[in-house]
Amino acid sequence: MRSVLLLLLTLFATVAKAQFEMGIHYFVSAPLGVIGQNIQPVHNFEITGYSRIKAADRRLFAGAEISFGEYAHKSQETTFISEDGSATTTTVDFSSSVRNYHAIAGYHFTKCTAIVPYVIIKAGISNFNTSIFIEDPDDHHSCHPLEARNLFCDVAFSGGLGAGVKIDASKVFKNWGRGRSWFDLSANYLYGSQIDYVNIKYLAPGQEGPNRQTKELNVQFIDITTQYIHEHQVAQVYTSSINFLDFKVGIVKTFGGCRN
């Protein structure tokens, strides 16, 4: 998918013979609805690139954006009880993140002004993943994980729309050049199909969240004494639709001329 987005971006830049703009943004994604009951807000960094299309008087633009964010990083002591009643206590580290890959298109409402309002639409995929690291118990008699590091991930379609404003940075920094750099502020709504993800808020096997648990996330362990291979639950997996409200701030750089 990443290669497809880069190919689309190159196509727009080559065929449309347009000005190119590239941005770096930080944004917070506030989860809404069911998913908002299960995960924390996502803190993201994003790289955006798009071409302003010459045939549309440079008001239309199209390109791609890639973002990387984290919604949880947690370590906790966990006790695993085997069928024979023996207990193993160790530290389990959870790190959950979100990656978004979207093709984008938008429209600038003004041209050659210090403040440029715009609207944008996007479509692509979102990837949720959780890295789980289980420390090897410091003993020679309990059960130990067969794999210290485990990864759970799922991918789903996502799309959205938003509105924002670009402000000419030369109004603040005189040496930046008129129309070459912009402060970019926007709000965006992202919605998508259902996706599975690890619920970091409710990790204990007996601790139920407000929504129905869809399945258990189990990891294989081996009993050091008997060599018996078995599984223990390390987390709960939930399913809900992608549903976020994003608040974004960043810097956009214009290449190929300073005309807006």
53 has pLDDT over 60? yes
Report the distance separating Cα 204 and Cα 234, nearest Å. Answer: 8
pTM: 0.81
pLDDT digits (tens, 9 = 90+) for 234-247: 888 889 999 999 99
| Residue 70 pLDDT exceeds 70 | yes
Per-residue pLDDT, 15: 42
DSSP state of 85: S
Res. 124 pLDDT band, cuts 50 70 90: very high
pLDDT value of position 173: 67
CA–CA gap between residue 146 and residue 152 (Å, rounded):
16
> Do 244 and 31 form a contact (C-beta atoms < 8 A)?
yes
Q: State the fold for domain 2-75+93-194+241-255.
A: Porin (2.40.160)
State residue 16's pLDDT score.
45
Q: Please report the pLDDT score of residue 213 as a whole number.
A: 54
Class of residue 239 by CB neighbours under 10 A (exposed 0-12, middle 13-18, buried 19+):
middle
Share the mean pLDDT of the chain.
83
Q: What pLDDT sits at residue 176?
A: 64
Pick 129 or 81 by higher pLDDT.
129
The predicted pLDDT at position 177 comes to 62
pLDDT for 210 equals 59
Q: Around Cβ 204, how many Cβ atoms within 10 Å?
A: 12
Structure confidence by residue, pLDDT tens digits, 173-230: 666 666 688 999 999 999 999 999 987 766 555 555 555 556 888 888 888 878 888 8
User: In 32-178, which ranges are E strands?
Assistant: 42-52, 60-81, 87-108, 115-134, 143-145, 149-168
Q: Which pLDDT band, with edges at 50, 70 and 90, does 257 fall under?
A: low
Measured CA to CA, the distance from residue 35 to residue 214 in angstroms comes to 13
